[in-house]
Structure 1
Amino acid sequence: MAKQILLNAFNMNCIGHINHGLWTHPRDTSTQYKTLAYWTDLARLLERGLFDGLFIADIVGTYDIYGNSVDVPLKESIQLPVNDPLLLVSAMAAVTRHLGFGLTANLTYEAPYLFARRLSTLDHLSNGRVGWNIVTGYLDSAARAMGLAQQPEHDRRYDQADEYLQVLYQLLEGSWADDAVVSDRKRRVYAEPSKVRKVRHQGEFYTVEGYHLCEPSPQRTPVLFQAGSSPRGLAFAGNHAECVFISGQSKAATRAQVDKVRAAAQAAGRSAQAVKVFMGITVIVAPTEQQAQAKYAEYLQHASAEAGVAHFAASTGIDFASYGLDEPIGASKGNAIQSATRQLQENVWTRRQLLEQHALGGRYVTLVGAPDQIAEQLIAWIDETGLDGFNLTRTVTPESYEDFIELVVPQLQQRGRYKTAYADGTLREKLFESDHPHLPAEHPGSTYRNPPIVSPTGALHHA
């Protein structure tokens, strides 16, 4: 059977996300991001299109590298202002039954003890439809706002992330036994004390002593997403990630990146297929190719290439505004996103070329065409690169998702490459076609489940 394509809508709790400037399009509604109706309507739409999830990006800090100011980010709303992504889930979960929610949270600024409670709460309220996109941050503006002089060094952030996950696994997997909650009214016992364990962690970055505040949620640990592509980021993904998000510009480079992700999983003792790999992509579709090209030209009139370059500047830590249009840009090793700086190191770029690359406001692969053309191109990307699916970014909201659902989804279904109905179960069960909601046995987080519990008398019990 041919591989079924997985699909997330890629979005953010803000106006300008990836394809910048399109908030000025007369049909775009992204300025309504502050309203619940904006998000609940989107959730209903995506579930109608059988999307696997809504992947919500986030950033802490501001993009102040370009021109050494936030002028362009403020004028073009380049992920500024930006609201909390996690607070959206309850409302969207209430109007859907199957749609998953991949939520970005920066562990550098989230205490693991309280963050574990937030994850469990959302997993309960969504009936097991939550994923966490693990990020460590890359903006010095965020570090300064949080009282630090600058971000910790790149690889050091991953050292901290490894320990953070150890703490979370102990809380989410090991604190409460599966059968700790008995809800026995006659005995007046809601939870059996002998089956709830205090977590005691003393590490380099974290000291935690306490019981997890929540009873076990449907998935216990949410589905774990991650997007690092540096050697250290890949090692982290190999150990922890269940879904990895990559950014590709060509099929050959994407194939190489997918192979690296799968090799990292195998190096960590997991199977190559233990990780689902998604690539960010933009699709502009219309009933005919001519209409699609006309729509693309229309979008270009509203997009802001400069805003896209300002966003990219923050990703690399390089102020492109300080270069002349045709002056070669010097790449330097920084503390930002290493995959972004690597693009500059491997090619000679000028600001003019960057502006051309960001003509639609972003630099994702953009497919433009009729429904059958788009379907065939998406299938080719999957078959030729080993990808499992896509993070479909928005252009004009909600038009881009409506067009895809009405025009492309039926074409993929006709070709047997996209589901015609949701499977039952949690987000993890849906994504991996399994009948088990928890981390699989080969995942290191599963080893924290059901450890021995010490009772007040000092006796050992096994949950």
Structure 2
Amino acid sequence: MTRQQHFGWFLARGFGPHGWGHPYLDWNYRWTSPGLYQQSVRDLEQAGLDLLIIEDAPSLGSASTIDLRVRQAFGGPKHDPLLLAPYLFAATQHLGIVPTVNPAAYLPYTAARQFATLQHLSGHRLGLNVVTDTGSARHFGSAPVLAHDAAYDRAEEWLGGIRDLWRSWDDGALIADPTPTADRPQGRYADGTKLRALRHRGEYFEFDGPLNALPFTEGEPVIVSPGGSGRGLGFAGANSDVQLALAPLDAASIRNYRARIHAAALERGRNPADVTVLFAIQPVLVGSAEEADRLVAASANPDDATVLTIAERQSSDLETDLTSLDFDAPLDLGVFGDHVSRGSIARLVGSHDVETTPLRVLLASMARLGRLSDGSGFVGTASELADLIEDLGENADNDGVLFWGDLHPVTVHRMLDELVPILRRRGILRTEYNPGGLRANLRDF
């Protein structure tokens, strides 16, 4: 029996110069204005997607990579996705909006109050993509940069503190009854004896409660996390409602990844079913199998200019200038600092022997495309992509996928115009939403 799955969109380049470097820049959308994004999220909602996750990095990176990041607007500039969220909520009724937030950038009390406000304003459709980008730490104070696992420890304390603040209004604290009584002619709004004077004194944060914001009627904001390391998966198992997963899209890899998430959830006393695992995918959809074959063949031998472009983009993602290295020598992993994502390094290395494989080969491998039809890549027709998604749902119990790309209307329509009808005809994609906000829609099947 065909399984219905969850679908989302991962805005991979963040709230930045959409269209730059592409022919559709000449559509003349202004990336600094909300109209481009509002048009696209309406289309995502019409398509039946559950949520939009907006990547972010507050920093332009180290001095050695700033020019690489801004030269082609690959890693910056980026505006704050949290401030874009209200415009996207105003344009939609059901779609969940999930800006990326960094615990280093928000004190817990301020964060809890701002996020609570957006949760109410949106009809309980807010999500938070919690990242531990330690490279941005210098922008937020004089504390030393934390190592990879310690950054997760801080994030866990931060999120736990925020949840304590959200829950500092006990059941029955909010009354909101305007009915006059003999002793209260104006009714009663709240019972102050049921607000807890929270006092948090932790390793990384100190703050007091209770929170000056209303409790939630349809649940707290949905927590998303992207980490694929052992500590990152542990954080997801303990805290996350959605895991943004990166793994090969075959049944064995997906089952293995899901098993690790579920084990982490069980270890922290949670029901594994409470974590929705969504695997990111960046397909290249074309009109025919013949066209797909031509694209794959053309990518087989990338030229030097293509390899250099890949190096520049990877330098941005890895906050390490790969262009200054010897492309014909093996990559020394010691060039990467502790703040660099282990998952990003793993994507660069792939299945190669890093000790013997020249950097040029690693970069060229990232430029090569493969076919959906034979499992070697993600170039193919909408029907072939639907086949893959359906197979993963039936044979790997996959929860769903995240389409990876920018949020330009051209990109959205290229991805979804033919795919959505096929998925709906097969019963894989929802045709309507349920009341109750994002959390309810993630739990409705």
Distance 2:333 2:414 in 1: 39
Distance 1:359 1:63 in 2: 24
Distance 1:70 1:48 in 2: 38
Q: Report the counterpart of residue 24 of structure 1 in structure 2.
A: 21
Q: What is the root-mean-square deviation in Å for CA atoms of aligned residues?
A: 3.0
Could you list the per-position Cα deviations for residues 405-451 of structure 1 after superposition, in whole angstroms to 9, with x for gaps in the alignment? 220111111212111222222111110118xxxxxxxxxxxxxxxxx
Distance 2:82 2:382 in 1: 34
Task: Give percent identity, aligned residues only.
Answer: 27
Residue number among 152, 162, 167 corresponding to 2:156 in the alignment: 162
What letter is aligned with 1:4?
Answer: Q
Deviation at 1:31, TM superposition (A): 6.5
Distance 1:383 1:204 in 2: 45
Residue number among 37, 40, 46 corresponding to 1:39 in the alignment: 37
Distance 2:333 2:107 in 1: 35
Could you list the per-position Cα deviations for residues 217-249 of structure 1 after superposition, in whole angstroms to 9, with x for gaps in the alignment? 344421111111222222221111111111123
Q: Does 1:354 find its partner at 2:362?
A: yes
Q: Report the counterpart of residue 55 of structure 1 in structure 2.
A: 53
Distance 2:423 2:150 in 1: 43
What letter is aligned with 1:26?
Answer: P
**Structure 1: unaligned runs, 5 residues or longer:** 17-21, 435-463
* 1:51–1:250 distance in 2 versus 1, CA, 3 Å: closer
Distance 2:106 2:157 in 1: 13
Q: Report the counterpart of residue 102 of structure 1 in structure 2.
A: 98
- After TM superposition, the structure 1 = structure 2 runs for residues 9-408 of structure 1, keeping only pairs within 5 Å, are 9-11=9-11, 12-15=14-17, 23-28=20-25, 32-64=30-62, 68-139=64-135, 142-148=136-142, 150-177=144-171, 179-184=173-178, 186=180, 187-188=185-186, 189-251=188-250, 252-291=252-291, 306-313=308-315, 315-316=317-318, 318-332=320-334, 334-335=337-338, 336-342=340-346, 344=349, 347-348=353-354, 349-359=357-367, 367-394=378-405, 397-408=408-419
What letter is aligned with 1:84?
Answer: D
Deviation at 1:294, TM superposition (A): 6.8
Matched residue SS, 1:174: coil
Distance 1:180 1:383 in 2: 45
What letter is aligned with 2:386?
Answer: A
Residues matched between the structures, number: 421
Distance 1:297 1:86 in 2: 41
Q: Report the counterpart of residue 372 of structure 2 in structure 1.
A: none
* 1:32–1:150 distance in 2 versus 1, CA, 3 Å: farther
What letter is aligned with 2:150?
Answer: R
Distance 1:179 1:350 in 2: 64
* 1:396–1:115 distance in 2 versus 1, CA, 3 Å: closer
Residue number among 418, 427, 432 corresponding to 1:416 in the alignment: 427
Distance 1:74 1:150 in 2: 26
Distance 1:401 1:178 in 2: 45
* 1:7–1:304 distance in 2 versus 1, CA, 3 Å: farther
* 1:25–1:334 distance in 2 versus 1, CA, 3 Å: closer
